[in-house]
């Protein structure tokens, strides 16, 4: 327990977090690329054809992991927002703001692929049902966090606190997205995989590439988070001695 507490405090230190991210980021990228290649090749070429949707169903190997990540990243951003708002941790601010554009990108991918999937599945690209609408609101929340931060660019600490407040309030939308298909009438199907209700995908040859892609997207998030958070810390801590020392070391390397 003491080691975990010590690690927590160490990770809250901007220079320590910067170094750790620099150490692990390349490995996260390698794992993300390798797993993405495996998942896409497995899903697009080796997974069996669906008896109802034929080959059109293969878009789930991109759509479902992207949708999962849009929620996962917002939750991570919201937790970081709580830490930034309550304890004013610089690293939490970095994680929160680094997560926002990554989560927004995954949300756009989930919406775009969902529309492409919806046309053959439901006969329409878009329907204002609860799941689709709440997912679109999620995108607006990501954009809102980034816009709020940008609007207070002269005072980065105040900008982070205001952005954190938006991120925290938006967490309630995650619950709405998760249970929207059960609370309201929806053309959208329920969860493909559930820890409590089991999986609607019974064929392991279909499920395997989906799980591989889900893991791949998480490693990509970690890689992108590390890179963006490092840049954020260099910009917001530019007057600190550790930043000058780090930049000097890079110059002489």
Q: What is the pLDDT of residue 212?
A: 98
Which residue stretches of the chain have pLDDT < 70? 1, 185-200, 253
Q: What is the pLDDT of residue 43?
A: 96
- Euclidean distance between CA atoms 176 and 55, whole angstroms: 31
Q: What is the pLDDT of residue 189?
A: 64
Which CA distances in Å does 150 have to 87, 101, 109, 145, 159? 21, 13, 24, 9, 7
Q: What is the pLDDT of residue 199?
A: 61
- Euclidean distance between CA atoms 181 and 203, whole angstroms: 24
**Are the beta carbons of 96 and 81 closer than 8 angstroms?**
yes
Q: What is the pLDDT of residue 185?
A: 66
pTM score, two decimals?
0.94
**Residue 135: HSE in the Cβ half-sphere, 13 Å Cα cutoff:** 31
Going from N- to C-terminal start, the domains of the chain cover 23-252
Could you tell me how many residues make up the chain? Answer: 253
**Are the beta carbons of 180 and 174 closer than 8 angstroms?**
no
Which CA distances in Å does 87 have to 10, 12, 93, 143, 244? 15, 11, 10, 24, 26
């Amino acid at each position: 327990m003491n080691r975990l507490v010590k690690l927590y405090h160490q990770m809250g230190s901007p220079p320590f977090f910067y170094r750790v991210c620099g150490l692990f980021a390349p490995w996260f990228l390698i794992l993300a690329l390798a797993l993405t290649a495996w998942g896409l090749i497995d899903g697009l070429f080796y997974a069996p054809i669906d008896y109802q949707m034929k080959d059109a169903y293969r878009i789930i190997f991109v759509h479902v992991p992207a949708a999962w990540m849009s929620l996962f990243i917002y939750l991570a951003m919201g937790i970081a927002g709580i830490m930034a708002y309550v304890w004013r941790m610089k690293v939490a601010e970095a994680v929160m703001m680094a997560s926002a554009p990554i989560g927004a990108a995954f949300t756009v991918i989930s919406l775009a692929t969902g529309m492409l999937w919806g046309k053959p599945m439901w006969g329409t690209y878009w329907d204002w049902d609860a799941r689709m609408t709440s997912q679109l609101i999620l995108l607006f929340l990501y954009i809102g966090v980034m816009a709020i931060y940008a609007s207070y660019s002269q005072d980065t600490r105040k900008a982070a606190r205001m952005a954190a407040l938006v991120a925290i309030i938006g967490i309630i939308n995650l619950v709405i997205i998760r249970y929207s298909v059960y609370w309201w009438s929806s053309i959208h199907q329920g969860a493909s995989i559930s820890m409590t209700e089991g999986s609607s995908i019974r064929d392991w040859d279909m499920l395997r590439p989906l799980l591989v892609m889900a893991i791949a997207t998480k490693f990509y998030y970690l890689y992108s988070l590390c890179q963006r958070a490092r840049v954020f810390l260099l910009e917001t801590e530019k007057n600190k001695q550790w930043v000058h020392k780090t930049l000097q070391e890079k110059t002489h390397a």
